[in-house]
Amino acid sequence: MYKLPFITFFFLTFFSLVNCNQKPYAHGKIMYENFCVNCHMEDGSGLVGNIPPLAKADYLTTNADKLACIIRYGITENLVVNGKEYTTPMAGVPQLTDVEIANIINYINHEWGNDNGYTTIKQVQAQLEKCR
């Protein structure tokens, strides 16, 4: 008599947990699509010669401590990504919250062949304090 509710509960819980991890950076993807995709493209390839790629970009790992500042405030200095220099400035998106910036960074860090670890909101806040 008690087996059926228990089994039902078990399977519902199991399938809920499995589905929760299907797209762990879904919010970051939405934010990326709203604010970044026009320049960096849906596949993270950038605009050849003008906008650097994010897909398999060495810049993401070597400058992980600057990403939050770049997203919020933009960047005007030249960048070297995967051995190629990019001179087009990037506008910042100052209206993004710290949480949204963390979500974008985590999405970028785990998409298109990137495996750059997880960035916490506290790390984003510390980065933003340094670049003010």
Residue tagged 């970009």 (tokens): 57
The pLDDT value given to residue 60: 94
The pLDDT value given to residue 62: 94
| pLDDT by 10-residue block (mean), the chain, 132 residues | 58 54 82 94 92 95 95 95 94 96 96 92 96 80
Of 73, 76, 70, residue with least CA distance to 89 = 76
Q: Which domains does the chain have, with CATH numbers?
A: 23-130 (1.10.760.10)
Using an 8 Å Cβ cutoff, are 39 and 90 in contact? Answer: yes
- Residue 65: phi, psi to the nearest 5? -80, 0
The pLDDT value given to residue 5: 61
